[in-house]
Structure 1
Amino acid sequence: MIVDSDTVLAHGVGGSTDLPVPLEYAMLGAAWALTVSFAVLALAWRRPRLDPRSPGRALPPRVTRTVDSAATRALLAALGVAFTGWVALAAFGGEPGPTNGAPGAFYVLLWVGIVPMSLALGHVWSYVSPTRALHHAVSRMLRRDPATGLWTYPAALGYWPAALGLLAFVWTELASPEPGSLTTIRVWLVGYLAVGVLGGLAFGRRWFERADPFDVYAALVAALSPFGRRDPTGHSPADRRVVVRNPLSNLAGLPIDRGIVAVVAVLLGSTAFDSATGTSWWLTQVQTWYAGSPALAVAYRALGLLAAIALVALVFVLAARATGGLTSVQRRSMPAELAHSLVPIVVGYVGAHYLSYLVEKGQRTLIALADPLDRGWDPLGIGGLAPSYWLSEHPHLLAVLKVGLVLTGHVLGVIAAHDRCIRLLPRAHHLTGQLALMLVMVGYTFLGLFLLFAG
C-alpha cells in the first residue's frame, strides 16, 4: 500500500525469514486447530445455538439512554465532521510529501482503523459518519425526514453498490498509478461525501445501510462486536436496550441481501492480493512483466486484484452450494446465508496483515495531522512526539499475534458456518453438507498464513 508518493510502507515486520515462527509449524497448527474444531462441533454442537434474538445481558438503562440520546448523536456527528474537515485541510492546503497526514488518515485511520473501532464499540460509524451527518443537516435544511428519500431503495440493488464502492477504493489503493497523491485523496474525499449526501437524499437511511461502502464495511465488522440490542429487528421499540451478547449470535443476525457475498469477497480478496504483491514471486517475477510501463503496471495490478476477488467468491459460492438435500432454489441461496461466516476470517486476516501497520503508521499519521497546513500548529500537543516501534521490535510477540488472529478468525468462521448449516440443512446432510465448505476454510487459512509469512 502506498500512502505518499515517496514512501512504500510495509504492513508487518517483513517476510518469512523475519517472522520467528517456522511457516510449516504455523500451517500444522492451523490444520490441527480447524480439524479439531470441526470434530468437536460435529460431536457436541448438534443443534443451532447462535440466535441474535437471545436476551443477552442488559447493560444499565442509562447506557441505552446515553447511546440513543440526541445529544450523543449530535456530539459524535460533529466530531466526525470536524475530523473530516481537519483532514480536508491537510488534503487541500498541506504540502505534498511524507509529512502530510491526509493519505494516512484515508488509508490507515479509516480503512484499517474501522475494524478495531467497530469490534470494540459496535456500529459507531453510523454516529460519526460525515456523510450521514451532512445528509442529516441538508435534509433538515430542506425540511425533509432524513430517514426517507425521494424514492424507495430498489430491492434488486441489495449490497451491490457498496461492493462496487469498496472495489473502487481497493483499486485506488492497490492498483491505481498514484494512490497516495493528494489529488487522489481530494477526489475521493469530495466524491464520497457528494455521493453519500445525494444517495441519502434519494433513498434515505437505506442508502447508508446498503450502498455506502464504508458504512457497510463497518456494519459487517460491528456484527462481530459483543454489543447488541435486546430486539435487534427493531420490531419492539420498547425493548431496544443495549445488551452484551455472544458475538457469534450478533453475527448470525447480519442482514442477508443481494451482493453480500461480493462485499466479503472484495474485503478478503483485496487483502490477499495486497499480501501477494509483497511476495518475492511478485517482486522478482511479475514486476518484470510491466517494468518501465506505468500503464502496464496499472493493468497487471488491476487484473491481479480482480482475479483474487473473483477466486475468493467463486470458490466460496461453489463450496456453499455443494450440499445435498436442498432444492435448486435453496442451494442458490446458501452462499448469501453463509456469507456471515467469512466476516471473522476477514477480520482476522485484516488484523494480522495490517497490525503493526495500523499501530506504527497510525501514530505517524496522527502526529502529521497535528499540523495539517505545515504552519507550526499543534493544538493537541502531539506534534513533537516520535512514533514508537515497540511492536516491530518484538517480532516473537508480533508473530504470535498475527498467527493467532488468523487462526481465531478461521475457527470462529467454522463455528458460524456450522451453526447456520445445521439450521438450514436436512439432518442427514448436517455433516456431509459442510465438507466442501470445511475444505475451503482450511484452504483460506493455509493461503492466508502463506501470504502473511511470504509477504
Structure 2
Amino acid sequence: MSSQRTVRGLRRILTALAVLAVGLVAAAQPAAAHAGSLGGSLRSVPAPFWLVVVSGGGVVGVSFLVSAFVTDDETLGAFARRSIALGRPVKLVGLALRVVGVAGLFTVIGLGLFGPSTAIANLGVLIVWVGWWAGFTMLTYLVVDVWPLVNPWRTLGAVLGSLVDTRSRSIPERVGSWPSVVGLLALVWIEVVSPLSANPRALAIVVLGYSVVTVAGVLVFGDEWFEHVDPVSRVFRLYGLLAPIQRTDDGFSVSFPGAALARVEAAMDTDDIAFVVALLWVTTYDGLVSTVAWDGFLDTLTPVPSWMVNLLGVVVGFLVFFVVYHRAAAFARETAETYVTGDFIAGWFAPALVPIAAGYHLAHFVGFVLGLAPALLTVAFDPLSPPANIPVLALPEWVGSLQLVFVVLGHLLAVWIAHTRSFDVFPGRLQPLRSQYPFVVVTICYTASSLWVVAQPTVGGVAG
C-alpha cells in the first residue's frame, strides 16, 4: 500500500513537471537576463530562453527523483558530517579585518557626503553596492563568513562599550527575532523607493542613521542585537552556513557546501522561519522590481504612488511566501503520515531555503560585480578626483546563461539538504521521501518563476 502511494506521488510530481514544461514552452520568447545596474551604467545580457525551459522545474524534479535513490545513512553522512579541520587563523588577520570594516564604513559616509555626486564615480556608492552587498555577500556563501570580524558596528560597539559604563539588557522572549524580519523588509523597500544607488548623499545619510541605531542597540542589548534584531548580521549568518568553510571551536573546517545547513540540530521557531522566508522573498523582489514587467505594472497603477505599490509588494509578497511555505509543511505532514506537527516540519526544513536565496542572489549580482569591478578599482585609486571616463566591463552573452544556471544550482542544493534532513526526522525509506512531495512541487513552481524573473529584460537594458 505504501509503495502504491509512493508511485502515485511520483506520478503527480511528473505530471506537474509536464504542465510546467508546456507552460514555459508556450510562454517562450526572446528574453534578457539582467546583470543589475548602477544608475543605468550596465545593460542587460542576452540569454537563450531554451535554457530557461530546459533547466527549470524539470531539472529540480529530476534531482528529487535521483536523490530518492540515495537513502542510506553512509552516503548522506558523507555529505552532511564529513569535514577537514584547517586550524586557527593568525590573530593579526582578525585585527586587520576589523580595521578594514571600520575604515570602509567611514569611507562610505565621508565620500558619500563630500565626494563626487555621480554614483559611478563615488567610491562610497561602489563599496556599498559592488564591493559589499554584491561581492562580499558572494564571498560569504561561496567561501566563508567573516562578517562577525568585519562588522564595523560590532567593533565600534565594543570600543564604545569599553569606554561607557552600560548594563546590557535582554531582548524580551516574546519579541524574538521579529524585529529583524521587519528590518529586512524595510531595508529592501527603502532601497527600492529611494535613490540610494544613484545619490551618494542619500546613501551616506541612510548608512549614518543605520550606524547610530545599530551602535546604540549594541550598547543597550549587547550581542543579542546582532542575534535577534540586526537584519544584516542575520543575513550573513544564514548565508555563512552555506559556505564550505565553517568556523568551529578549534578554528575553521572545510566540508561540502550546505553541509552546515543540513547539520542544524533544532527546528527553527516561527520568527526564524519568517526571516528565512523574508530573505528568500526580498532576494526575488530585488530582481523583480528592476524588470520592464514591474515597471509596466507600476504604470498601470499610475494614480497610486509607486512607493505605496512597492510597500504593498514587499509586505504582500512576504505574506504569500510565508503562507505557502507553511501550507506545504502542513501537506507534508499528511503525505508523510506522521504525528510530527506541521509547525515542526516547517521549522525543520527552513534551512533548506537558504541555498535558493543564495542562488538567486548570485544570479542577480554576478554580472553586476563583473561589470562594475573595473569601475571600483579605477575610482579606488583616486576617490576624490576620479577620471571622467570610468570603465565598465562589457559582458559576453554566456554570462546570461550562467545566471540561469546559478538559480537552478541553488534549488538543486536545497532539494539535497531537505532530503538529508528528512532522514533525521522520519523513519524508514519511504516516509522521508513522502514528506518532500509538497516541498518539491513548491520548489518547482518557484524555480520556474525565479527563472522567469532572471530572464526578463530590465529597465535600461536590452532584450536579446
Question: Is the shorter-chain TM-score for this pair beyond 0.5, marking a shared fold?
Answer: yes
The residue number in structure 2 matching 1:117 is 139
Q: Which amino acid aligns with 1:142?
A: V
Whether contact under 8 Å (2:52, 2:455) holds in the other structure is: no
Q: Mind listing any 5+ residue stretches in structure 2 that lack a counterpart?
A: 1-34, 458-464
- Looking at structure 2, the residues matched to 400 and 317 of structure 1 have their Cα atoms a distance apart, in angstroms, of 32
- Looking at structure 2, the residues matched to 80 and 211 of structure 1 have their Cα atoms a distance apart, in angstroms, of 20
Could you list the per-position Cα deviations for residues 317-376 of structure 1 after superposition, in whole angstroms to 9, with x for gaps in the alignment?
Answer: 211222233447x3112222211111111111111112111222343244335444x3x3
Whether contact under 8 Å (1:226, 1:247) holds in the other structure is: yes
| TM-score, with length taken from structure 1 | 0.82
- Looking at structure 1, the residues matched to 323 and 253 of structure 2 have their Cα atoms a distance apart, in angstroms, of 37
Match of 2:272 among 260, 265, 275: 260
What displacement does 1:84 show? 1.2
The residue number in structure 2 matching 1:211 is 229
What displacement does 1:422 show? 2.3
What displacement does 1:410 show? 0.5
Q: Which amino acid aligns with 1:314?
A: V
Where do residues 157-168 of structure 1 align in structure 2 (5 Å cutoff)?
157-168=175-186
CA distance 1:2–1:417, shift in 2 (3 Å): closer
Whether contact under 8 Å (1:275, 1:451) holds in the other structure is: yes
The residue number in structure 2 matching 1:222 is 240
Equivalent residue of 1:152, what SS? coil
Where do residues 45-444 of structure 1 align in structure 2 (5 Å cutoff)?
45-47=71-73, 49=76, 54=81, 56-59=83-86, 61=87, 64-66=88-90, 69=91, 71-98=92-119, 99-142=121-164, 150-176=168-194, 180-229=198-247, 232=248, 240-254=250-264, 256-290=268-302, 296-322=305-331, 323-324=333-334, 325-327=337-339, 330-372=341-383, 374=384, 376=385, 386-390=390-394, 392=395, 394-395=396-397, 397-427=398-428, 429-444=431-446
Could you list the per-position Cα deviations for residues 258-289 of structure 1 after superposition, in whole angstroms to 9, with x for gaps in the alignment?
Answer: 42222222222223223333444333343242
The residue number in structure 2 matching 1:453 is 455
- Looking at structure 2, the residues matched to 267 and 362 of structure 1 have their Cα atoms a distance apart, in angstroms, of 25
Q: Which amino acid aligns with 1:225?
A: A
Whether contact under 8 Å (1:221, 1:343) holds in the other structure is: yes
Q: Which amino acid aligns with 1:242?
A: F
Whether contact under 8 Å (1:160, 1:211) holds in the other structure is: yes
CA distance 1:120–1:32, shift in 2 (3 Å): closer
CA RMSD of aligned residues (A): 2.9
- Looking at structure 1, the residues matched to 293 and 358 of structure 2 have their Cα atoms a distance apart, in angstroms, of 26
The residue number in structure 2 matching 1:13 is 44
- Looking at structure 1, the residues matched to 61 and 317 of structure 2 have their Cα atoms a distance apart, in angstroms, of 26
CA distance 1:109–1:262, shift in 2 (3 Å): farther
Whether contact under 8 Å (2:426, 2:432) holds in the other structure is: yes
Equivalent residue of 1:57, what SS? strand
What displacement does 1:32 show? 3.4
| TM-score, with length taken from structure 2 | 0.80
Paired-residue identity, %: 24
Runs of 4+ aligned structure 1 residues displaced above 6 Å come to 1-4
Could you list the per-position Cα deviations for residues 356-400 of structure 1 after superposition, in whole angstroms to 9, with x for gaps in the alignment?
Answer: 11222343244335444x3x38xxxxx69953524x2x10x2123
What displacement does 1:52 show? 9.9
CA distance 1:263–1:113, shift in 2 (3 Å): farther
- Looking at structure 1, the residues matched to 124 and 251 of structure 2 have their Cα atoms a distance apart, in angstroms, of 38
